[in-house]
Structure 1
Amino acid sequence: MEKIFSSKTTDERNWGMYCHLASFAGLIVPFGNLLGPLIVWLIKKDEYAFVEQEGKESLNFQITVSIATLIAGLLSVVLIGIPLLIAIIILDFVFVIKAIMAANDGRSYQYPFNLRLIK
């Protein structure tokens, strides 16, 4: 279910978008896909309700992606993990980009495959 937060400022929408965008830090820093959203969420969660929700959603998704990547990495010993790793990477990019666009429009985004570990 999609929530639309009315009367959001541009700053609030931008910080909500940064929660998702920060997951691309994993391309530069090991575990950056977890640390990026965590840092943005911790900094701005008390200031904006939209950032509170989007930060948790992004962090939960990146935890899910990390677990799936670990499992696929282990399965690559028997070769089934290699196509799984490719699929995980592609889906991660697609879903994060969709979340960035939704947050930029002021809409909350729920990732379709997400363990809700942080409530």
Structure 2
Amino acid sequence: MSTPVHYPPPPLPEHEARNWAMAAHLSPLVIALLSGGILAAIAPLVIWLLYRQRSWLVDDQAKEALNFQITLAIAYVVGLVTLVFLVGVLIWAAAFVLAIVFAIQGSVAASRGERYRYPISIRFVR
């Protein structure tokens, strides 16, 4: 009996890699609207797990989007804790606006095949 040979997955065409990188940035916005923000990190995580070996751009940008979504989750928890002092409302509002602005900037950069770094993000996944 011979051992089965496992080949690496084929690389993604550049236009497809750009589309998946854009999806990694924009899909958390859609999911956040549908789930109230709770599941926003799921889409970049799934995209990263499925396509990280097929494109350097998707690997890089999905990790970046995932890290930002985790950072946002922390900001929302801090906002919840400080809600008693009314500071939480400001934290939530700022996080909401930054999430939209940065996701759009990231998706535009990804559509050009460029790397985007979120200005406010803790790098949990490297």
Unpaired segments of 5 or more residues in structure 1?
A: 1-7
| Paired letter, 1:82 | V
Aligned to 1:29: 35
Is the aligned partner of 1:50 residue 2:57? Answer: yes
Between Structure 1 and Structure 2, whose CA radius of gyration is higher? 2
Aligned to 2:18: 13
Query: How far is the alpha carbon of 1:77 from its aligned partner?
Result: 1.1
**TM-score, length basis structure 2:** 0.84
Equivalent pairs, count:
112
**TM-score, length basis structure 1:** 0.89
User: 1:22 touches 1:40 (CA, 8 Å); kept in 2?
Assistant: no
**More contact order relative to length (CA 8 Å, sep ≥ 6):** 1
| Paired letter, 1:13 | R
Counterparts in 2 of 1:1-119, with a 5 A limit?
Answer: 9-24=14-29, 25-29=31-35, 31-119=38-126
Q: Which runs of 4+ in 1 moved over 6 A?
A: none
Identity of aligned residues (%): 33
Q: Aligned-residue CA RMSD in angstroms?
A: 1.2
SS of residue in 1 equivalent to 2:113: coil
SS of residue in 1 equivalent to 2:41: helix
